[in-house]
Structure 1
Amino acid sequence: MKSVSISEASFLVGVSIDTLRRWDKRGIIRATRDNRGVRYFNLDEIERVKSKRDCRTSGHSQGTRNYQVLKDESPNGYKSLDLFAGAGGTALGLENAGFQHVLLSEIDKDAADTLRVNRPEWNVIEGDVANLDFKEFTDEIDLLEGGFPCQAFSYAGNSRGFEDTRGTMFFQFARAISESMPKMFIGENVRGLLRHDGGKTLETMMNTLKSIRGKNNETYRVAYRLVKAQYHDVPQKRERLLVMGIRSDIGDKLYFPRERDYIVSLWDAIGDYPKSEGQSYPLKKKAVLEQVPEGGYWKDLPEDVAKSYMGSSYYLGGGKTGMARRLSWDEPSLTLTCSPAQKQTERCHPEETRPLNVREYARIQTFPDEWQFKGGTSAAYKQIGNAVPVNLGYYIGKCAYAALQGSEKGVEKFVVPANETDYVI
């Protein structure tokens, strides 16, 4: 793996410096910086991106695809409990990594029906997680996982543990840990949690998790890290904050997903045009988006058209890059939302002037094509948009396996050990 400067990479690969800068900015390739701030690039990574683009634009796309739903052949012997399961993105990823689910909790009826129709053998409990008693699972759970919703709450930073978090879904997540005392837990949330209330919200959560104690005075060592899905076999630029903890009598090693040295493009995922139901644009909106080039957005429209389409938003600050946005074949998709036709966060197909359809949405979240979504088109978009990508769930499962084993032996290519900057002391 050879690292070179941007000028050397441009000369060797035949790609302009401006293009390389744009790829770096968009997350298609990654740069490392030395102590002087000089950027260096992985030459193999750049050549792979260029090769893919050359193959697609020349019409020779066969053999260039890099899309798959990751799955192991056999169970790993560990049991898991999944909270706030949604449509099953994390749950399926963990199953694909070898975990056996003891229980899945989900309050939304359509999402619960989705779980049942796809996995009739799963123990799906529909309803408010606050009504569940987790004491019966004490000493039975290896991994407790949950993507707890994060309401907009803030604290004065008094670090009162459970008292600070009562009434929030995070409290239910922490209560489940406290009652069942799993060997380890993993929670996930949005990037914004890092800075919410100046970091006090996350600090309160970490203090709460570290304050949990078992009957034999066991505690948890806790770490967190921001993970970018696009480097984990997911054709989407989606960031998730992972929070992990391991029980003190089990070990003190935690692991996070190892970034791959390649990306999966939108062409890899949906270039064969999977057909399904989906939303459509009104004629007036379609006429506007037809003027946006592949990879473009509102700034690519004529000024009068942009002003008319955006209304008062045109004069507001910020990039507004989600408005009138058409995706690019050669990049991962932008983060999927609960609706691909929302004006602020549009996800227009790269080639056709329409929103992404349901199956395209599912592919971008790395759900297998046979995974069904119950409740109708709008419910399907919502479930998929809220999900954790299945392949990211797979890598999360590999991290949990390494921690439970106490070693990354055998899964080194999937995980990296947490370092001191990941730990909340």
Structure 2
Amino acid sequence: MKNNELFSIAQVADILGVSKETLRRWDKNGTLKPTRNDGNNYRMYHRGQLEEFEQAKLLFSSTWDQEHAVQPRRKYTLVELFAGAGGLALGMERAGFKSLLLNEIDKHACDTLRFNRPKWNVCQSDISEVDFTKYHGADVVSGGFPCQAFSYAGKKMGFEDTRGTLFFEFARSIKEIRPKIFIAENVRGLLNHEGGKTLEAIKNVIDELGYTLVEPRVLKAIFFRVPQKRERLFLIGVRNDLAKHFEFKWPSPYKRILTLKDALKAGDLYESDVPDSAGQKYPDKKKRVLDLIPPGGYWRDLPDTLQREYMQKSYFLGGGKTGMARRLAWDEPSLTLTCAPAQKQTERCHPDETRPLTVREYARIQTFPDDWKFSGPLSAQYKQIGNAVPVNLATAVAKSVVTALNLLETCEQHHNQNEIVAA
């Protein structure tokens, strides 16, 4: 990134985590003034202007390459829950983990896992039916438990009080396996769910289980070599008897923000253009509307009469609803992928062609490799990909966990050597 001294308004908005409207306001009030390109009047920002912002500093001084060169001191073992199509599991594998078990209830997702990794121990069942005691001593338990509402009435919200929720089953796996570290991921909404009470209840249970929690953090996928504006909340915990030797450092950002072009064309991320694959289609009426939307545009780019017709009652409601009638742009990351690319609330239209993204385009935006095949009907494939943790984000977090485990391993070896000397 050092050679790219100029940044567009879209790039700066992504780097600083603010809207383009905010940048335009900063331009007017003098907070951050871009220069104008004489040829086309585009607003461009110099690298030096951005270096006073913390997020830009991290990007420009990235230690991504060093972190990704880290190798495990031994083959660390993993139990993966709510495994889905394998985004998190594949990232953990790339960091050097050996999976002992992958549990998932969805048949199509399990078929996907088995097809791509025949040697993985994939258990298709309700998690409440899994006996985790046979995996006692695995190094890591990971998974994205769905966030269900708890009933708080008259309860202290300890382990037993979460019974009947999928978080209880995740906690039970930790209780029975006693891993060194656990990794839980969820939607960022968990931070403020029920006014923060849900997360507080989760923290109580983690403490009750005998684990120390790293302060939870929302990671933005665009900073971790993922061409998508997706955000996930990560919770990392370590067993209390290891906590004094535990040092966890969140992963550094990649050296630049990737765009849709990086996902679908040959370049930094993939060696070839995206392969052809099946995809949904728009009904003729919707296609005629989306034909009028420019790259990066949405319903407000339509003539007013069409805006009213397309949005109906939503036209009069507040909020931008920028996902509706949305066409993606080549030079920006994709919006967060959903489970259905043609859904009215969350359209993800191809930048040039008036159609939803295909399955392989979806998979690339989630940074799955092209040889990772998805099982089931088209709707099930989209759902699996849309629900996945982006592989490159998972890899970045997993590398940080490997670094922490390596340190624990070193401390344990020194402890054992000292005991031998003392004897």
More helix by share: 2
* Partner Cα separation in structure 1 for residue 176 and residue 277 of structure 2: 43
1:24 aligned residue (12, 16, 19): 12
Matched, 1:402 2:394: no
The answer to whether the Cα contact below 8 Å between 1:245 and 1:254 also exists between their aligned partners in 2 is no
Cα distance change, pair 211–222 in 1 and its aligned pair in 2 (3 A): farther
1:168, distance to aligned residue in structure 2 (A): 0.9
Deviations 1:194-240 (A, max 9, x none): 11111010010011111103xxxxx4344311100010000100000
* Aligned equivalent of 1:121, options 96, 119, 122: 119
Deviates more, 1:350-359 or 1:158-167: 158-167
Asked if 2 retains the 8 angstrom alpha-carbon contact of 1:221 and 1:252, the reply is no
Specify which of 168, 185, 192 is matched with residue 165 of structure 2. Answer: 168
**Cα distance between partner residues in 1 of 2:254 and 2:49:** 10
Q: Shift of the alpha carbon at 1:306?
A: 1.0
Letter in 2 for 1:300: D
Match of 1:64 in 2: none
What's the secondary structure of 1:242's corresponding residue?
A: strand
Unaligned runs of 5+ residues in structure 2 are 19-29, 34-44, 52-66, 266-272, 411-423
* TM-aligned CA deviation for residue 154 of structure 1: 5.4
Amino acid at match of 1:129: I
The counterpart of 1:43, out of the listed 23, 44, 47, is: 47
Residue in 1 aligned with 2:230?
238
Structure 1 position 130, deviation (Å) = 0.4
Q: CA 1:266/1:302 → structure 2, altered by over 3 Å: closer, same or farther?
A: same
**d(CA) in 2 for partners of 1:396 and 1:408?**
18
Note the 1:411-422 alignment, pairs <5 A: none
Secondary structure of 2:216's match?
strand
Q: Distance in 2 between matches of 1:23 and 1:220?
A: 37
Distance in 2 separating the partners of 1:190 and 1:407: 29
Instruction: Tell me which amino acid in the other structure corresponds to 2:116.
Output: N
The alignment partner of 1:117 has SS state of: helix
Q: Per-residue displacement from partner, 1:241-297 (whole Å, max 9, x unpaired)?
A: 000001122233223221223111100111334310000001100000000000000
1:226 maps onto 2:245 in alignment: no
CA contact (8 A) 2:149 2:198 kept: no
Match of 1:86 in 2: 84
Q: Distance in 2 between matches of 1:383 and 1:136?
A: 28
* Contact map agreement 1:338 1:382 (CA 8 A) in 2: yes
Secondary structure of residue in 1 paired with 2:78: strand
> Is 1:345 matched with 2:349?
no
- Matched residues in 2 for 1:288 and 1:157: separation? 53
1:188 to 185, 189, 193: 185
TM-score w.r.t. length of structure 1? 0.79
Greater CA deviation, 315-324 or 225-234?
315-324
Residue 378 of structure 2 is matched in structure 1 by: 377
Equivalent position SS for 1:80: strand
- For residues 365 and 211 of structure 1, the distance between their equivalents in structure 2, rounded to whole angstroms, comes to 35
Equivalent residue in structure 1 for 2:97, among 99, 113, 138: 99
Q: What amino acid is aligned across from residue 24 of structure 1 in structure 2? A: V
Tell me, which stretches of 5 or more residues in structure 1 are unaligned? Answer: 3-8, 32-36, 48-69, 214-218, 410-425
Q: Which residue in the other structure is 1:367 paired with?
A: 368
Alignment check: 8 A CA contact 1:278 1:355 kept: yes
- Asked whether 1:247 is paired with 2:239, we answer yes
Q: Aligned partners of 2:142, 2:104: CA distance in 1, in Å?
A: 13
- The separation in 2 between residues aligned to 1:202 and 1:42, in whole angstroms, is 40
Secondary structure, aligned partner of 1:256: coil
- Worse-superposed segment, 119-128 or 75-84: 75-84
Q: Which amino acid aligns with 1:208?
A: V
Rounded Cα–Cα distance in structure 2 between residues aligned with 1:74 and 1:244 = 20
With over 3 angstroms needed to count, the CA separation of the structure-2 counterparts of 1:97 and 1:45, relative to structure 1, is farther
Q: How many residues are matched?
A: 363
Partner Cα distance (2:48, 2:170) in 1: 42
Task: Report the CA distance between 1:150 and its aligned residue.
Answer: 0.9
Contact 1:206 1:222 (C-alpha < 8 Å) held by counterparts: no
What is the SS of the residue equivalent to 1:249? helix
What is the match of residue 389 of structure 2?
388
Give the distance between the partners of 1:115 and 1:174, measured in 2 at CA.
24
Larger CA deviation: 365-374 vs 164-173: 164-173
* Matched residue, 2:140: 143
Q: Which amino acid aligns with 1:264?
A: L
Is contact 1:28–1:331 with CA below 8 Å preserved after alignment?
no
Are the aligned partners of 1:337 and 1:382 in contact in 2 as well (CA < 8 Å)? yes
Q: Aligned letter for 2:88?
A: T
Spell out, residue by residue over 1:136-179, the C-alpha distance to the aligned partner (whole angstroms, 9 max, x if none). Answer: 2222x111001101124453595331133111111111110011
Retained in 2: the 8 A contact 1:156–1:200? no
Q: Quick one: distance in 2 between partners of 1:71 and 1:362?
A: 22
| Counterpart residue identity of residue 260, structure 1 | Y
Q: 1:153 to 1:307 in 2, by over 3 A?
A: farther
CA distance in 2, matches of 1:185, 1:258: 20
Indicate yes or no: 2:263 matched with 1:269. Answer: yes
Q: SS of the residue aligned with 1:101?
A: strand
2:252 aligned partner: 258
CA distance in 2, matches of 1:123, 1:377: 25
* Partner-residue secondary structure (3-state), 1:331: coil
Specify the SS of the correspondent of 1:257: coil
Misfit runs of 4+, over 6 Å: 44-47, 70-75
CA contact (8 A) 1:221 1:248 kept: no
Instruction: Give me the identity figure in percent.
Output: 56
Corresponding residue of 2:57 = none
Letter in 2 for 1:239: E
Change (3 A) 1:221 1:310: closer
